[in-house]
Structure 1
Amino acid sequence: MMVLDGLFIIELISKTLSVAPSDPDDPIFNMVWIFPFLGRDLLRLENQIPFFVLQTLFENTRVTRSCGADRSLAKLILGFFNYMMERPDGVLERFGNLEGKHLLDFFRLSFIPPPPPQQKPRIGEDELLELIPSAKKLGAAGIEFKPKKGDTVLAIRFHNGVLEIPHISIDDFVTAFLLNSVAFEQCYSHCPKHMTTYATFMGCLINNPSDAEFLCEQKIVENYFGTADDLTHFFNNLGKEVSFDIGNNYLSNVFVDVNEYSRNGWHVRWAELKDTYFNSPWSFISALAASILLLLTMIQAFFAVYPFAGGKPFGS
């Protein structure tokens, strides 16, 4: 069964990338709409075939491919999944020799920057690591959200009050990939829990539909999955009853720094001031006019009181 399924996977990938001849009357490979469904099925945890089986079948069927004989199986796999989750061309070159336990593990590893970040959390002796508030609450606390360009959605960064999060398009394929990646990391204890950490992080930010809409407005999330309620429901359930070590993950320092910044009273007051007086041109003009009027009133009062405070009248 593994040989039969493995040969189908090799044929599917090869024909999709036009490195193997295809039959114009093929009842499967000529239906374009079927590829996203097959892509999701290939990443289901229960459908995985050992990667060395795929590699062996790939090497033994190399002569059947009309072109691209010099391309590795890793590059072909990444090129195939690129139809469903587009990524920069440099990813194919960088992970061209990557190997995993199976397709799901291989595709998951291609999102983890080599080498995986290993940082000790910056935390005091009496301080406890905590999850971060939702996106709307962080915005009200003065934290700015900024979309970030990069090869992986995992490259999250917080610096000087700016939370940089790579843009991600959420659709059926991406949700299936995240769900199965988290499930794999929960089942296999000897792998880095990057996807679990990312799912927990996004689950914290998207606590309700207004948070989902806020991240969409900030160009961080592009929602093709459904409504804001659907997106919220997905991330809330993705991290439910999942084992997560907040003190030992690649975003531990981000959790610490974001919480420390959002609890600073000055940042909160400044954010409230900007939201009240500088969130639109009319409110800014009104605040500026009030400030000028107050300044002129103070100057008028000064000139009125000055002669009676021991000073000489002006012009004498």
Structure 2
Amino acid sequence: MAEATHTDMNQTNLASDESAQQRAELQRLLSSQPSDLSSNHFQQPHAEDEEINIDIKALIEISEDGLLSPLCCIYRVPTTIRHLNNEAYTPKVVSIGPFHHGDKRLQEMERHKEIMLKRFAQRAMTDLDSLVNFTKQSESKVRASYFERINYDKKDLVKLILVDSAFIIQLFIMTFEGRMIPDAKLSQSWLDNAISKDLLLLENQLPLFFLDELYNIAFPHNGRGHRPSFLQLTYSYFDYLNMQMFEPHLEIKHFTDLLRSCHLPRSLTRRSMFLPEVHNDILLYSAKQLEEVGLRFRSSSSKCLLDLKYSNNVLEVPRIRVDDDTAMIFHNMIAFEQCHYPHKHYICDYALILDCLINSHEDVNILIRERIIHNYLGDPSDIVRIFDRLSTNLTLSNFNTEYSDICGRLNHFARDPGRQMKRALKRQLLLSITGFVLNMLTLIQAIFSILQVVWR
């Protein structure tokens, strides 16, 4: 018992001594100056820490400011819409600009681009050094025209844009002058056609300001004579797009922008705020459903594809040719609008309306019957898929006020109780007639079966 008591007393004394030491140490720390606290309890940075600090500072110094250049107009197609039809955005025979440069599939045309550069240089009224120096001076502006960072040094980018620009200018001149036949490669009509399509792709562009300025350096105004301007050459090359006969004075940024501009009306309508989740004025009925309640469709003679009109229970829609190029043309215009015109997406609006009208092959057949759609694909289901993909994953911040008004009036027309009853009666009558015909066919078949037995 005594030993136990003695042991407890010793442990108590030890604990008291430890507590006293801890209090003394705490008092010393509290009474220390900040410099003492730093020197005693904070280690100096190790060499590894210093390297991290240096790397972070260097990263900040070389990083861009993240601001959008006013020259920016060429984009990679967003992955959210590219995966729906990757082929529509990918060049088939020729790469223009840095995005698809080096693609092994397109190397054959790289050799011919060098031939075209030689022809351009021989034809130019300026020496080659002047053309190269101008390209060097413009390199930073051309680089700023791309939304994505370009991983080419100045030397390589200058060579790329000069070769590609010379190819385009020489191609346009040869086409304008009708001198494609002597060219062993470009005289092939299929290749000429494929090149013209590749030049419309959003990812396959050079800024038009550079092409125009390089052309003016090569062919100065005072010595050009009757040679057209580069903008006139461009409109001549893409004349099949200019259905509205626009004069070559539009301010366009590149050939995809030209493609879009040729489809816009001469006077753009106002935009209204548009929230598809809650807004009533988005079309809720397909062509078949609208026709069932009494709406008539009529082919419009307007040259502007976006010129939809509705009056007196008639929806007028301009004729549209649907062929192998339709998906490519619309996909690239829509991708450009999604990137560059987020509040002026008139082509997206049109695609949304067409997607609302077309939900099945029956809807397509109605529009074909009324000569609104000229079908060059064959299967109406292919047309359904095209317009379904065009409006998938679109981001719309507002809506064309004219379209909003048309959609609201069509929805009101289709919801009319009298028309809904008429539609229901028509459907019931059709079902009754169909049932009657089936019953009669069954009866006739039974009679013939009985007669066959009797005749045996």
After TM superposition, give the deviation of residue 178 of structure 1 in Å: 0.5
Q: Which residue of 2 aligns with 1:76?
A: 233
2:211 matches 1:54: yes
Whether the aligned pair in 1 keeps the contact of 2:367 and 2:373 (CA below 8 Å) is: yes
Q: How does 1:102-251 map to 2 (within 5 A)?
A: 102-118=254-270, 128-190=280-342, 192-245=344-397, 247=399, 250-251=402-403
> RMSD in angstroms over aligned alpha carbons?
3.1
- Partner letter of residue 7 of structure 1? A
2:193 matches 1:36: yes
2:168 matches 1:9: yes
Q: Which residue of 1 aligns with 2:248?
A: 96
After TM superposition, give the deviation of residue 79 of structure 1 in Å: 3.1
Q: Hey, what's the Cα distance between the residues in 2 that align with 1:153 and 1:217?
A: 18
Q: Hey, what's the Cα distance between the residues in 1 that align with 2:226 and 2:371?
A: 37
Whether the aligned pair in 1 keeps the contact of 2:202 and 2:336 (CA below 8 Å) is: yes
- Relative to structure 1, is the Cα distance of residues 43 and 192 closer, same or farther in structure 2, using a 3 angstrom cutoff? same
Q: Hey, what's the Cα distance between the residues in 1 that align with 2:311 and 2:420?
A: 17
Whether the aligned pair in 2 keeps the contact of 1:197 and 1:250 (CA below 8 Å) is: no
SS in 2 for 1:2: helix
Q: Hey, what's the Cα distance between the residues in 2 that align with 1:36 and 1:269?
A: 52
Q: Hey, what's the Cα distance between the residues in 2 that align with 1:180 and 1:266?
A: 43
2:177 matches 1:25: no
Q: Hey, what's the Cα distance between the residues in 2 that align with 1:246 and 1:75?
A: 34
Q: Comparing both chains, which one has the higher relative contact order based on Cα–Cα distances under 8 Å and sequence gaps of 6 or more?
A: 1
Q: Name structure 1 gaps, 5 residues minimum.
A: 278-316
Deviation digits for residues 71-121 of structure 1, max 9, x if unmatched?
4434433332234x5x54xx33x3320121211012211221233111659
Q: Hey, what's the Cα distance between the residues in 1 that align with 2:386 and 2:279?
A: 31
SS in 1 for 2:189: coil
Deviation digits for residues 260-309 of structure 1, max 9, x if unmatched?
112123345567889999xxxxxxxxxxxxxxxxxxxxxxxxxxxxxxxx
Moved more, 58-67 or 33-42: 58-67
Q: Hey, what's the Cα distance between the residues in 1 that align with 2:384 and 2:236?
A: 30
After TM superposition, give the deviation of residue 246 of structure 1 in Å: 5.9
After TM superposition, give the deviation of residue 46 of structure 1 in Å: 0.6
SS in 2 for 1:108: helix
TM-score, structure 1 as length reference:
0.74
Q: How does 1:284-299 map to 2 (within 5 A)?
A: none
Whether the aligned pair in 2 keeps the contact of 1:78 and 1:107 (CA below 8 Å) is: no
Whether the aligned pair in 1 keeps the contact of 2:342 and 2:396 (CA below 8 Å) is: no
Q: Hey, what's the Cα distance between the residues in 2 that align with 1:63 and 1:2?
A: 20
Q: Name structure 2 gaps, 5 residues minimum.
A: 1-159, 430-456
Deviation digits for residues 152-171 of structure 1, max 9, x if unmatched?
10111111211111001112
Deviation digits for residues 201-241 of structure 1, max 9, x if unmatched?
11111111221122111100111234211111111111111
TM-score, structure 2 as length reference:
0.52
- Relative to structure 1, is the Cα distance of residues 96 and 127 closer, same or farther in structure 2, using a 3 angstrom cutoff? closer
Q: Hey, what's the Cα distance between the residues in 1 that align with 2:167 and 2:401?
A: 37
Q: Which residue of 1 aligns with 2:47?
A: none
Q: Hey, what's the Cα distance between the residues in 2 that align with 1:217 and 1:40?
A: 29
Give 1 or 2 for the bigger CA radius of gyration: 2
SS in 2 for 1:114: coil
Q: Which residue of 2 aligns with 1:295?
A: none
Q: Hey, what's the Cα distance between the residues in 2 that align with 1:48 and 1:191?
A: 22
Q: Hey, what's the Cα distance between the residues in 1 that align with 2:412 and 2:283?
A: 12
Q: Which residue of 2 aligns with 1:293?
A: none
- Relative to structure 1, is the Cα distance of residues 132 and 14 closer, same or farther in structure 2, using a 3 angstrom cutoff? farther
Q: Which has the higher helix share?
A: 2
Identity %: 28
